[in-house]
Amino acid sequence: MTWWKVWEKASGRGSTDYYAEGVVLVGQELYHEALTSFRLALKDRPDDPATLEQIAVIYTHIGLLEEAVRSYRHALQLRPLSPAAHYGLAFLLLKNGEDEDAADHLRAFLEQARRDGEEARQIDHAERTLEKLGG
């Protein structure tokens, strides 16, 4: 452990859970503040796909769609079977007119999604969208 980490622990500075803080801020629709928290979370865990997915959601909310696409793609490099990243990326690609690529991500989402809980609504939405795309 470096001297900096020892100092952080001793001073209580290293104890903030920036990811949890970001989730709370998203729930309050404080997107710019949440983005700051998630960026700080990435400093602690630079390759955390869940944090990258949260950042992509925020970018979508604030209209930075290309950045959202990049964040989802990065998350998928780290966790290729992530249903959340496939789902979010699919709908951003649809907005860009990239229907074939979007359909591929919708299929990937449907293969990985759990059929219960919150994903049930997303499954229905993905199936209807895929049907409209022709398959």
Over residues 88-117, the pLDDT tens digits come to: 999 999 999 999 999 999 999 999 988 877
Q: Dihedral sign, CA of 34, 19, 39, 91? A: negative
pLDDT band at 125 (very low <50, low <70, confident <90, very high): very high
- C-alpha to C-alpha distance for 105 and 30, rounded to whole angstroms: 29
User: What number of other Cβ atoms are within 10 A of residue 90's Cβ?
Assistant: 26
What pTM did the predictor assign? 0.84
Domain locations along the chain: 1-70, 81-135
CATH of domain 1-70: 1.25.40
In one-letter notation, the amino acid at residue 127 is E
- Contact in structure between 99 and 133 (CB atoms under 8 Å): yes
Among candidates 60, 84, 61, which has minimal Cα distance to 70? 60
